[in-house]
Amino acid sequence: MALRLEDKQQIVAEVNEVASGALSAVVADYRGMTVDQLTELRAKARETGVYLRVVRNTLARRAVVGTEFECMDPALVGPSLFAFSLEDPGAAARLLKDAVKENDMLEVRGIALGGKLMDGSQLEAVAKLPTKDQAISMLMSVMNAPITKLAQTLDAVPTKLVRTVQAVKEQKEAAA
């Protein structure tokens, strides 16, 4: 079914708005997937904060102009399924990584992160990126480590003194 000019403009505007606020994007070839599989993938995407959309490549090229996803142009060949991570940079990659496990027909063609295009083989690495909460937790543990070590070191001095006095006491009791 042919799209009218107004529909095309609306799609371009919608995708541009999402791309402007997205943290990362994944483009995949969805040939061979059934409608039920795509519907299930869309439901999972909504749950994980990922914007998922099938867009014509010509419209996608226009939609990403002025965003950090302009680098995706070489990956726009054939039918394209776009997944934009809105809350966490690795969310779209995790979603499509799980989908690829379930469906061999889905092929990731490119991943855009930080204005750079990576090929589909980098999907695993991007999917392992920590969520915001995990990153904060890791940062806090790194920041907490020196203070914890200092407290343990300061505690060791009186503890060692007490143990030495206890050992001398036991030694004198044993001698007597």
- Identify the band that residue 1 occupies on the pLDDT scale cut at 50, 70 and 90: low
Q: Could you tell me if 48 and 86 are in contact, meaning their C-beta atoms sit under 8 angstroms apart?
A: no
DSSP β-ladder status, 107-113 and 81-85: unpaired
pLDDT in tens, 99-119: 888 888 888 888 888 888 888
The reply to whether 154 and 99 lie within a common domain is no
Q: Rounded to an integer, what distance in angstroms lies between the CA atom of residue 44 and that of residue 122?
A: 21
Task: Give residue 110's pLDDT.
Answer: 87
The number of domains in the chain is 2
Task: Please list, in sequence order, all residues whose beta carbon lies within 8 angstroms of the beta carbon of residue 65, skipping any fewer than 6 positions away.
Answer: 16
The percent of residues in the chain predicted with pLDDT above 90, rounded, is 1
pTM for the full predicted model: 0.72
Sign of the four-CA dihedral 167, 168, 173, 175: positive
Sign of the four-CA dihedral 150, 151, 155, 156: negative
The reply to whether 64 and 18 lie within a common domain is yes
Report the SS3 class of residue 29. Answer: strand
User: Residue 141 is which amino acid?
Assistant: S
- The CATH number of whichever domain residue 108 belongs to comes to 3.30.70.1730
pLDDT in tens, 28-40: 988 888 888 888 9
The reply to whether 120 and 169 lie within a common domain is no
- Identify the band that residue 152 occupies on the pLDDT scale cut at 50, 70 and 90: confident
pLDDT in tens, 42-90: 898 888 889 998 888 888 888 888 888 888 888 888 888 899 988 888 8
Task: Give residue 19's pLDDT.
Answer: 85
DSSP β-ladder status, 50-54 and 107-113: unpaired
B/e letters for 102-131, b = 16+ CB within 10 Å, e = fewer, are ebeebbbbbbbbeeebbebeebeebbebee
The reply to whether 121 and 151 lie within a common domain is no
The reply to whether 19 and 82 lie within a common domain is yes
The reply to whether 176 and 142 lie within a common domain is yes
Structure tokens at 145: 């480590």
The percent of residues in the chain predicted with pLDDT above 70, rounded, is 99
The reply to whether 112 and 170 lie within a common domain is no
